[in-house]
Structures are given as structure tokens and as C-alpha cells.
Amino acid sequence: NANRILHSINTLDELLKRFAESIAEAVGADRVTILLSERNSFLQHYPPNSDSGPLNLAANDPLVTTLDKHREPLGSENIQRLHSASMLKDAGRRLAELKSAIAVGIYSKAKVEGVMLLGPRLSGRIYGATEQDTLQILCNQLAVALENARLYTQVQDGKIYNDILLDNLVSGVIAA
């Protein structure tokens, strides 16, 4: 289902909504939050509205830097398995502050383009290694779909601009 969503042509908002809902249903997460890179931070794009305002992580946030360095999903179980470096402990604290069970990086062109945060599973089970690997593969595919959605949105915006421009011209237009 996620693969079908990723290969369909969508606007950015529709793509994120359908992808997050599909992931939440598949793994039984109580919530999915997707943050995308904008300038020097990662801003919440899904869900679009939250009571406390959009979540914003700095580019040098321990969670982001750990995801960038290790290139694998980060959950409390991973932090215990990996070396107990200060950066990992900070990332683990940050994950707990965000009330998330796991963070998955969205990588494009060798850098982090986004972060997907998943809440605890409704069943209470942890995210196993196979599920984490699958989530990482899907997030890698999401990075490509995000680029396509951005291009599609730009084309749609250009079409709307041209339509408005032509509709409001006082003089005629001749095309050869």
C-alpha cells in the first residue's frame, strides 16, 4: 500500500497524509509525525495542525545528528544496543521528550531530508529489527516521492500562475 502511494502523483500534503496514515495502520502506531528540512531546521509537515503548534527541530538537534551519523532507525532499544556515547544518550532523551518510540531518517542525496517520528504501538510491542529495516526502506522511497511531489506542485503552481496571468491580461496574446 505504501509503495502504491509513493508511486502515485500527489501534492506534498496529500502524499504525506496518505503515507503517514498507511504506516500508522501497518505498524499500529498511535501517531506518525513527519518533519521535513527547511533552511536550517526540520519543520513538522504532518500532521499539519497540532495543539501546541508545529514541531521544529534544529539541524544540530541530537536526534537529527544521530540519524545522520548512524543511518538507521533510532529507538530506545537501539540506543541501548549501540555504544553509550553522549550523543546517543542526548538523542534518546530527545526521543523521550517528543514522546516517540522510534525516529526514522528520510535520506536523499546523502543527507537527511526529513525525520519520521512514530509514537508507541497500540499493542505495546516494540518495533523489531525487521520492521525498522522496512520503515527505513519506505522512508528512502519517500524521499524520492517527496522530490516528485515538490516538482509536481511547482508545475501545478506554474499552471495556475499562467492561467491567472492570461485571464487578467488587458491586451491580446499571439503565440507562434
| CA 4 – CA 126 distance, rounded (Å) | 26
Pair 34, 114: CB distance under 8 Å:
yes
Report the side by side order of strands in the sheet with 102-108. Answer: 56-58, 41-46, 32-38, 111-118, 102-108, 74-75
Pair 115, 64: CB distance under 8 Å:
yes
pLDDT in tens, 2-12: 667 767 766 78
Q: Distance between alpha carbon 45 and the CA centroid of its chain, in Å? A: 8
Predicted local distance difference test score (pLDDT) of residue 107: 93
pLDDT in tens, 84-128: 567 788 888 899 999 999 999 999 887 899 999 999 999 999 999
Q: Please give the mean pLDDT across all residues of the chain.
A: 86
C-alpha cell, 60: 544540530
Residue 70 has pLDDT above 90, yes or no: no
Residue 135 has pLDDT above 90, yes or no: yes
C-alpha cell, 17: 497524509
pTM of the model: 0.81
Predicted local distance difference test score (pLDDT) of residue 97: 93
Residue 161 has pLDDT above 70, yes or no: yes
| CA 160 – CA 166 distance, rounded (Å) | 10
Pair 107, 87: CB distance under 8 Å:
no
